[in-house]
């Protein structure tokens, strides 16, 4: 499971999803995104804050304190989106180990279904049945719609 034991893993026979999130200067959207994550018994969350907004920093620090399986980093240096994603993924793996799945998100993505992660993994596994197709991801997941 890795040196941090990936804290806990109960969903789907012990599989763990590492969730990474980029945020910057949008406290209302960030709070909505964090509140929508839901149960973390099968996931870790690592947040990389590239902004200078104190309210965003307070939200992240408060949220990370309440969630044993989360980490927050304030990194205001401008990297660009791709390098910032690589940075938060590397930090997540260093702290929590490599998960079975990786979900890359932003502070403006939120979920309306409480079982969004299980449904997303199920869809991913279903698509893996089709030879020649690999899931890459994108911002428009069908599970982000009201149920």
Q: What is the pLDDT of residue 90?
A: 92
7: nearest Cα among 98, 94, 68: 68
Three-state DSSP class for residue 143? helix
Beta bridge partners of 22: 48, 106
Q: What is the pLDDT of residue 132?
A: 66
User: Per-residue confidence of the chain (147 residues) as pLDDT tens digits?
Assistant: 333 333 333 334 467 888 899 998 999 999 999 888 876 677 888 998 988 889 998 998 888 777 778 888 888 777 888 888 899 999 999 988 888 888 888 998 888 888 888 888 888 888 777 766 555 555 544 444 444
Beta bridge partners of 27: none
- Distance (Å, rounded) from C-alpha 113 to C-alpha 38? 9
Q: What is the pLDDT of residue 64?
A: 79
- Distance (Å, rounded) from C-alpha 136 to C-alpha 86? 15
- φ, ψ (nearest 5 deg) of residue 4: -95, 5
- Distance (Å, rounded) from C-alpha 72 to C-alpha 92? 10
Q: Are 102 and 136 in contact (CB under 8 A)?
A: no
Q: What is the pLDDT of residue 4?
A: 37
- φ, ψ (nearest 5 deg) of residue 74: -100, 115
Sequence-separated (6 or more) residues with CB below 8 Å from residue 79: 50, 87
pTM (predicted TM-score): 0.76
């Amino acid at each position: 499971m890795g040196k941090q034991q990936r804290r806990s893993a109960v969903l789907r026979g012990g599989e763990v999803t590492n969730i990474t999130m980029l945020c910057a200067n949008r406290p209302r959207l960030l709070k909505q995104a964090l509140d929508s994550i839901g149960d973390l018994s099968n996931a870790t969350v690592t947040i990389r804050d590239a902004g200078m907004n104190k309210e965003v920093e307070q939200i992240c620090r408060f949220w990370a304190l309440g969630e044993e399986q989360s980490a927050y980093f304030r990194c205001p240096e401008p990297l660009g989106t791709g390098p910032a994603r690589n940075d938060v993924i590397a930090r997540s793996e260093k702290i929590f180990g490599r998960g079975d799945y990786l979900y890359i998100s932003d502070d403006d993505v939120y979920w309306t279904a409480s079982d969004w992660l299980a449904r997303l993994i199920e869809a991913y596994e279903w698509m893996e049945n089709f030879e020649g197709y690999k899931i890459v991801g994108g911002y428009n997941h069908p599970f982000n719609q009201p149920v």
